[in-house]
Amino acid sequence: MEHRVELSLIVPIYQSATHLEAFLRRTMKVICGLGRTCELLLVDDGSRDRTREVLESFLRRAGEDDGAGGQRHIVCRILHLRENVGQQQASLCGLSHAVGEAMVTLDDDLQHRPEDIPRLLAALDEGLDLVYGVPVRTHTSGLRRGGSKLRDMLFFLLFRRNIHPTSFRALKKGLARAVVEKSEDFLYLSVEFFRYSRRIGEVPVHYDRLEEHHSRYPLGRLLRTFAGLALYLPVVPTQLRRRYSGARWTVVEEKKRGLPCV
C-alpha cells in the first residue's frame, strides 16, 4: 500500500543541461524541509542537449550518498516526452501524472526561487484552489514584458479579474483533476483553471535574474501559446478552437527513484 503523497512538484524541462543540477540541489533542499511527503516530477520536453545525461548523473550520485537507514526520501519521477510540445503541454502532462494532494509548478531555470514554494503553499492552505507567484519586479526583455501585459489584458477580457497568471503556481489536486479530465478541450492552462474555480489568488515573490541562460523555448512557440489563449475569446468560433485543442504529448519513457534528504 503506497503512502499518501501530500505534494507534487512539477517541473517542465527543456534544454536544461547548463543549470539542471543546480536546480535539483536547491529544490531538493527546500522540499526536504517542508515536512511533507513529496514527489518531484520532472517532464523532459524532448530535450536534445545533455539534459538526460546530467539528470542521470545526478540521480546516480544521489543514490551513492544514500547510506543512512530510515532516511527520508523524496520520490523522483522522470517523464521523457517523444518530442518538444511546449511548456503548456508539458505542464499538463505533469499534472495528469501527479498524485499529490497539492501541486506546484515552476520553471527549472531558477528564475522562480524554490525558497518561495512554502509561501505559495501557505496561501493555498487558507482555502484557495490556486495561487500564483507574481513577480514584484521582473528582469525579462521588453518583448516578454509586453507579452505578459497582453496576456493579462486577455485574461481581464475573459474573466474580469485583475489576476496575473504565471507558471509558478500552487493548486489543489481537485482543480488539476478537473482540467485533466477535460484535456480534449485544452489550449491554455490558466484559462482552464479559471473555468473550474474562482477561488484563485496570488502572492508577491521575487524572480531572480537569469545571468547565464535565457528561455529555451523559441519565440515562435511562445507566440503560438498566446494564440491559443486568444482562441478562448467569445468572438472565436467554437469549431476553430476545437481544431487546435487537446493533449498533444506522448510519454516514451518513465523512471522512478527515491532521492535521500541529506
Residue type, 52: R
Give the tens place of pLDDT for each residue, 67-118: 555 467 899 999 999 999 999 999 999 999 999 999 999 999 999 999 999 9
Cα–Cα distances (Å) from 9 to 31, 206, 222, in that order, read: 9, 19, 23
Please give the grid coordinates belonging to residue 94. 505533469
Give me the chain's average pLDDT, please.
87
Residues 11, 86: contact at Cβ < 8 Å?
A: no
pLDDT > 70: percent of the chain: 85
pLDDT band at 24 (very low <50, low <70, confident <90, very high): very high
Q: Which residues pair with 75 in a beta bridge?
A: 39, 258
Q: Is the pLDDT of residue 172 over 90?
A: yes
Q: Which residues of 202-228 are buried (b: 16+ CB within 10 A; e: fewer)?
A: bbebebeeeeeeebbbeeebbeebeeb
pLDDT for 62: 79
pLDDT band at 213 (very low <50, low <70, confident <90, very high): very low
Residues 17, 54: contact at Cβ < 8 Å?
A: yes
Which residue would you say has higher pLDDT here, 71 or 229?
Answer: 229
Q: Which domains does the chain have, with CATH numbers?
A: 7-247 (3.90.550.10)
Which residue would you say has higher pLDDT here, 180 or 211?
Answer: 180
Q: What pTM was estimated for this model as a whole?
A: 0.89
Q: Is the pLDDT of residue 155 over 80?
A: no
Please give the grid coordinates belonging to residue 129. 484552489
Q: Which of 48-57, 97-106, 220-229 has the highest mean pLDDT?
A: 97-106
